[in-house]
Structure 1
Amino acid sequence: MLVEFGGAGQPILLLHGLMGRASTWWPVARWLTAYGRVVGLDARSHGRNPHRGGHWRTPDFVGDVADVLSQLGPSVVIGHSMGGLHALGAAAEHPELVRAVVVEDMAVDLRGRTADGWRAMFDAWPTPFPSLGHVHEFFGALGPYFAECVEERDGGYRLIASIDDLFEIAGEWGEHDYWDFVERVRCPLLAIEAEHSMMPPGQQAEIAKRADGRHLIVEGAGHVVHNDAPDIYRGAVEAFLSEVLSR
């Protein structure tokens, strides 16, 4: 499912992270509309995408992105976490459809990691949350982000995405590496890394190096850089887009 954020001209496709949905991009999409038509994709099993019940391999998600890009035409693709991996895949598999790519706090080699860490985190959440106010209180600075990711059902607020599906998606990352995606990227690339990243050290710098791109570490930021350091994130992306779109 696509979410139209507005703007006109150059297509800009936004891809969310594992627990997110397209609407979590709204604070970023508002200023991106100055650069083109901004569209967000709800990945399968997320948001209002009706796809449920399997096919959680990274190539499946990349195929979905490619289907959207074939409708939009050559696009700037901006991805956070899981969405960053899918953005790299789209740039590698369909170079004619990706004009530039921004990857926010994502690695391509998570082999050996399991979904157990995710499971422990989810188990610590006091779900169902009694109200959206409780969601905001529990997640603090990330409250607005997670408020977009829940819906009211079964006596409270729960993640829209199936947690079991999320475990399967994250589990697949622990079985394969995707350096091949990076090696085949031919468009301009910006890798934005959180100082307090969830990803293996050094990998995001290596992604930028191998793709002949740029790498930025944002001091003080956690995994959702565009939420934790919105001004720095915006400045980096705007500078990147201004250069790319002037070519």
Structure 2
Amino acid sequence: MAFADVDGVRLFYTDDTDDTDAKDDTSDGSVLLLVHGWGSDSHEWSHHIPKLRERHRVIAVDLRGHGYSSSRDTGNTPRRMAADLAELLAGLGTGPVVAVGHSMGGQVVSHLAVEHPEAVRALVAVDPGYGFAEPVASGFPAMVAALRDGDTGAVAVEIDRWSYTPATPALIREWHRRRTLATPPHVLVEAFEAMFAVPGAIGVRPNSDGYLARRGCPVLSFWFDPGQAAWESGLFKDPRSRTVVWEGSGHRLHEERPAEFLLVVHNWLKALAGARA
């Protein structure tokens, strides 16, 4: 494990790879950057890292204000988090990465791809926190007010209830409840507001449309909502991009179905490598 000092915060990250002969046979050469969601941390990827590092160098980071990373009094926004990641990757000398982001992490890696395109080879967005239309979008200002004026941790846990279905394992629910409660309240408020309730926030339409259309790299996105998937597919610029829809899954579908998730990602990265050859 390691820490990096970036813009006045200390970021925790892990940097893993397995030096085996099998890795040489199956890797497409991609470095993977794994980015968690709001109120979570890089432990979210514990289901996936052991398999991913068999084929790739895998960097998993705690975003500012989350997990073991520190925060500032202000500036705890997805756009600033993306700048942190660009600086981290430059310091590690990774070259362009495949950036994988869940929920708020989907916003963060999209900002990374738009604002720092030299850092991103491809994106994987997992039920990303962008592109919400009415009536969902109209409810975000009230959620921000509740986070700001009430018991922030308790309100955040209540907001997170929509993430689950009756089939979601209790372990996933409890793990995220505890991580949310451990996140500094000012970080939860500022990050959520920046995602969904400030001018130009890409969490809502139409702000999201023009901004996400600036992602020139290939994008693989996972959704449980087919309507959201159909909307995003119209914004792709690279013909190798695709959406995957798993109806009936919860918001954390990569944790609910980790083996299937890894298989789909692996096959898509393998196809990208073949297209480059």
Q: TM-score, normalised by structure 1?
A: 0.79
Deviations 1:176-209 (A, max 9, x none): 23434311111111010024xxxxx733432232
In structure 1, what is the equivalent of residue 3 of structure 2? none
- What is the rounded CA distance, in whole Å, between the counterparts of 2:50 and 2:230 in structure 1? 28
In structure 1, what is the equivalent of residue 120 of structure 2? 98
Q: Which runs of 5+ in 1 are unaligned?
A: 127-138, 152-157, 196-200
2:87 to 59, 67, 74: 67
In structure 1, what is the equivalent of residue 197 of structure 2? 174
- What is the rounded CA distance, in whole Å, between the counterparts of 2:273 and 2:116 in structure 1? 19
Report matched runs for 1:28-43 at 5 Å: 28-43=48-63
Report the CA distance shift for 1:145/1:91 in structure 2 as closer, same or farther (over 3 A): farther
1:142/1:227 contact within 8 Å kept? no
- What is the rounded CA distance, in whole Å, between the counterparts of 1:49 and 1:114 in structure 2? 27
Deviations 1:5-32 (A, max 9, x none): 4346531100000021012101111111
Moved more, 75-84 or 98-107: 98-107
Tell me by how many angstroms 1:123 deviates: 4.2
Between the aligned residues of both structures, percent identity stands at 26
In structure 2, what is the equivalent of residue 122 of structure 1? 154
Tell me by how many angstroms 1:146 deviates: 4.8
Q: Does 1:2 align with 2:20?
A: no
Moved more, 182-191 or 226-235: 226-235
In structure 1, what is the equivalent of residue 216 of structure 2? 186
In structure 2, what is the equivalent of residue 224 of structure 1? 252
Matched residue type, 2:125: V
Aligned Cα RMSD in Å? 2.9
Report the CA distance shift for 1:28/1:181 in structure 2 as closer, same or farther (over 3 A): farther
Please state whether the residue corresponding to 2:244 is helix, strand or coil: strand
Tell me by how many angstroms 1:230 deviates: 2.1
Report the CA distance shift for 1:3/1:146 in structure 2 as closer, same or farther (over 3 A): farther
In structure 2, what is the equivalent of residue 245 of structure 1? 273
Q: How many residues align?
A: 224
1:235 to 256, 263, 267: 263
- What is the rounded CA distance, in whole Å, between the counterparts of 1:228 and 1:75 in structure 2? 25
Tell me by how many angstroms 1:121 deviates: 8.4
Q: Does 1:165 align with 2:191?
A: no
1:18/1:82 contact within 8 Å kept? yes
- What is the rounded CA distance, in whole Å, between the counterparts of 1:21 and 1:167 in structure 2? 16
Q: TM-score, normalised by structure 2?
A: 0.71
Tell me by how many angstroms 1:61 deviates: 1.3
Q: Which runs of 5+ in 2 are unaligned?
A: 1-11, 20-28, 159-166, 203-207
1:115/1:171 contact within 8 Å kept? no
- What is the rounded CA distance, in whole Å, between the counterparts of 2:156 and 2:111 in structure 1? 32
Report the CA distance shift for 1:149/1:107 in structure 2 as closer, same or farther (over 3 A): closer
Moved more, 6-15 or 69-78: 6-15
Please state whether the residue corresponding to 1:192 is helix, strand or coil: strand
1:189/1:208 contact within 8 Å kept? no
Tell me by how many angstroms 1:144 deviates: 4.7
- What is the rounded CA distance, in whole Å, between the counterparts of 2:86 and 2:113 in structure 1? 9
In structure 2, what is the equivalent of residue 46 of structure 1? 66
Tell me by how many angstroms 1:148 deviates: 7.2
Matched residue type, 1:38: V
2:113/2:119 contact within 8 Å kept? yes
Matched residue type, 1:170: F
Report the CA distance shift for 1:214/1:26 in structure 2 as closer, same or farther (over 3 A): same
Matched residue type, 1:14: L
